[in-house]
Amino acid sequence: MWRINRQDRRHDENGSDDKEVPVTPPALKLSAAEPSPEPVSPAAPDNSSESAPTPQPSLSPEPPESQAPRHAAGHASGGEGLTEVMSAIDSPGRPPLRGFGRIPVHNVHPEVEGGHLPIYSVVDEEFEVTANVFREGHDAVGASVVLTDPEGNRHVTDMHQVEPWGLDIWKAQVCADIEGDWTMHVEGWSDTWGTWHHNADAKLAAAIDVELVCAEGHALMSKAVKHAEQTGDIDALTALREADANLTPDRAPDSLRQVINAYAFCEAMRAYAPRTLTSPTAPTPLRVERRRALYGSWYEFFPRSQGAHIDADGRWVSGTFDSSWERLNAAATMGFDVVYLPPIHPIGTAFRKGKDNTLAPASDDPGSPWAIGSPDGGHDAIHPDLGTFDDFDRFVAHAHDLGLEVALDFALQASPDHPWVLQHPEWFTTRVDGTIAYAENPPKKYQDIYPINFDNDPDGIYQECLRLLELWISHGVTIFRVDNPHTKPVNFWAWLMEQVHRRHPEVIFLAEAFTRPEMMAALAKVGFQQGYSYFTWRTAKWELEAYLDEISHQTSHFYRPNFFVNTPDINPIYLNNGNPAGFAIRAILAATMSPSWGMYSGFEICEHEPLPGREEYAHSEKYEYRPRDYDSDPNITLLVTRLNEIRRAHPALQQLRDTTIHHAPHDDVFVFSKKAGDDVVIVVISLDPVWGVESQIMLDMAALGLDHDDIFAVHDELTGADFTWGQQAFVRLYPAQPAHILHVRKTTP
């Protein structure tokens, strides 16, 4: 059977009367004086509009040696803008600024900020593109998605129309196969084959215009043959030539209808018939990153607690990088991909916090690692208790040997003892009484932390932040967990993210931003590959269903969540009673709902003691050493290990977008599925950590890639049990076994 690779075929080689100029990604401008050229549009006239000068973010400097962030072309305004619009309309084949070209293509999705900011994807991640495509009259139209790679090569995927037909909705699944900055656009075109075939079939059914139908068919097929010859598609050529020979007016109309409706012939014509009046939309940027930007399992621990002990004098002795190797080994054994370290820098003594966040620390209380800076140094130094840079380098190398990446906290704030306070007082806010403003979230006060002011000396502080990142990258750090990015200017992050991306596209940033939705979205749009999420507080079935739908369908083209089950700051109320079943349920939910999930050490042994009336840990590790017995009971280490094994075995659980929520009438039974190619996983989980639950399950069979009446085998990856399911099933779950993670094996007769 002959095959057509629609993904790689070039539509400008298919015999179209309208030749296309390949669309190349917009070049990043080298300096503010060199605006980025506009990608060339097909049939563009010599007077095509140029990009307006790219405005820089307010008070955001650009180092002379660095490239500026890429921006979309600016929109013209006033009389000049009207002239430009009219010029575009008067130029045949050129799409007007608002997208209504010769073949109108409208409402392209996904799109971020009107195409000014990139769509985000990772290598080989499929995502859906939709658009409205239509034309005047009754002639047929077609549409294609064109991804243009960093080298300027076009990758074309044909779209298909979906119901309801009258809404002119077209869809396609696409993916990019290499990292880099791509572009994406949609092309509408006149479907000469579809128009002829519709008319020919109707006329032959009525036995009218038979000779004309044959003559028009021969003319169309001759162009298709030339096209197929260029590609060397022997099977298509055979089907085309056979149909051409049999399309003769001396045959009966019913026989001719059989000729033009033959499957092989129709497929060949769809692939190689001329496509005319090609009308592209403006290209939008598409940033394709490495897979760790989407998928990974994170484990957080404090190096100072690993090996910490009380000496003979009754004083605490800090753990070190060298004594933390055991946690690296444990994280690798549990199947984690990333180890995340809170700040490892010197800690200030002024207003140092003691146990449980008191203002009266003992002499050996270590202080909060987020109160960065002392006479020993600032963000570019290591706390002397932890070791040296050589020790840190050995730690990172050992992590890499175990298959782990090291994520480091990037907290842009300073203790009153930070060298910046004396060297750069302009980097802080001075109050009317002459004192430097400390951090506040009234009624909370953080006297041990000075926030950074990014407006007094933007050039200086921007360059310093970039220098710090370059330093830690040079020591093997490939991921940064950014503390409270929502308290810093978004345009600062836009500048910094772009600078780092150009120098080190492998580096990933996680935004620790539990804040308003618009701010979380903005941080993702300007370059944060991942963000903390609202998962921590979503416990009811309706909340989980709504949130899963949001992250997998509504925001997945720019926002990638990381589902942390706990953090040093957050001891969720759901876990405050210490019920191990509750810990198991939250781990299963996080590990299966999101391609990235994380846990802070202590979760595996069900640590839960809260501060009274607070969603915080008593005896918080933020303010004291906390060595642990990781072999103590209760313990869910084996479950965590198995969850990470299942995630690695199933591509379906490593993606975000192809997710479907299924129906269970019980309010505490949550059912969803994920699909990646042939890999399909169904998750059924009880949300009740105390009582057993029973429920019917009604599955959306189409979402599973199955027919309505299919019977299929499922294998429970948690228990090893096998079941035979259909569109309806029944489950019984209880605290000791609160979930099924079901791999759909095959259909059965």
484 is in an annotated binding site: yes
Q: State the catalytic residue, choosing from 18, 84, 300, 512.
A: 512
- In 3D space, the residue among 540, 541, 559 whose CA is nearest the CA of residue 550 turns out to be 559
The dihedral through the CA atoms of 81, 87, 88, 90 has a sign that is positive
Q: Which two tokens stand for residue 441?
A: 């979230």
- In 3D space, the residue among 716, 745, 564, 657 whose CA is nearest the CA of residue 110 turns out to be 657
Q: How far apart are CA 280 and CA 105, in angstroms?
A: 8
Residues 373, 346 contacting (CB under 8 angstroms): yes
DSSP label at 447? T
Q: How far apart are CA 98 and CA 102, in angstroms?
A: 12
| Strand ranges inside 175-282, DSSP E | 180-191, 275-280
171 is in an annotated binding site: no
Instruction: Report how far apart the first and last C-alpha atoms of the chain are (Å, whole number).
Output: 26
50 part of the active site: no
DSSP label at 436? B
Residues 85, 96 contacting (CB under 8 angstroms): yes
- DSSP for 58-127? TT----TTSPPPP-PPPPP-HHHHHHHHHHHHHSTTPPPTTS--SS-EEEEES-BGGGTB-EEEETT--E
- In 3D space, the residue among 225, 246, 244 whose CA is nearest the CA of residue 234 turns out to be 225
The residue count of the chain comes to 749
3-state class percentages of the chain: helix first, strand second, coil last, to nearest 5:
30, 25, 45
Q: How far apart are CA 202 and CA 210, in angstroms?
A: 11
Query: How many Cα atoms sit within 13 Å of 238 on the Cβ side?
Result: 8
List all residues 6 or more positions away from 229 whose beta carbon is below 8 Å from its beta carbon: 237
- Strands 338-341 and 405-410 turn out to be parallel
622 is in an annotated binding site: yes
Q: How far apart are CA 419 and CA 437, in angstroms?
A: 16
413 is in an annotated binding site: yes
- In 3D space, the residue among 513, 537, 634, 521 whose CA is nearest the CA of residue 589 turns out to be 537
- The sheet that has 105-109: what strands, in order across it? 105-109, 127-133, 169-174, 160-162
The dihedral through the CA atoms of 85, 91, 97, 102 has a sign that is positive
- In 3D space, the residue among 706, 687, 473 whose CA is nearest the CA of residue 588 turns out to be 687
CA angle 462, 521, 301 (to 5 degrees): 70
Q: How far apart are CA 606 and CA 27, in angstroms?
A: 51
Residues 157, 186 contacting (CB under 8 angstroms): no
In a 3-state reduction of DSSP, which class is residue 226?
A: helix
CA angle 695, 700, 701 (to 5 degrees): 115
In a 3-state reduction of DSSP, which class is residue 716?
A: strand
Tell me the β-bridge partners of 181.
287
- In 3D space, the residue among 74, 39, 77, 81 whose CA is nearest the CA of residue 56 turns out to be 74
Q: How far apart are CA 531 and CA 558, in angstroms?
A: 11
In a 3-state reduction of DSSP, which class is residue 324?
A: helix
353 is in an annotated binding site: yes
Q: State the catalytic residue, choosing from 84, 191, 483, 604.
A: 483
679 part of the active site: no
Residues 664, 657 contacting (CB under 8 angstroms): no
12 is in an annotated binding site: no
- In 3D space, the residue among 220, 221, 212, 222 whose CA is nearest the CA of residue 253 turns out to be 212
CA angle 462, 466, 472 (to 5 degrees): 150
Binding residue numbers: 353, 413, 448, 484, 622-623
Binding residue numbers for alpha-maltose 1-phosphate: 353, 413, 448, 484, 622-623
Give the active site residues.
Answer: 483, 512
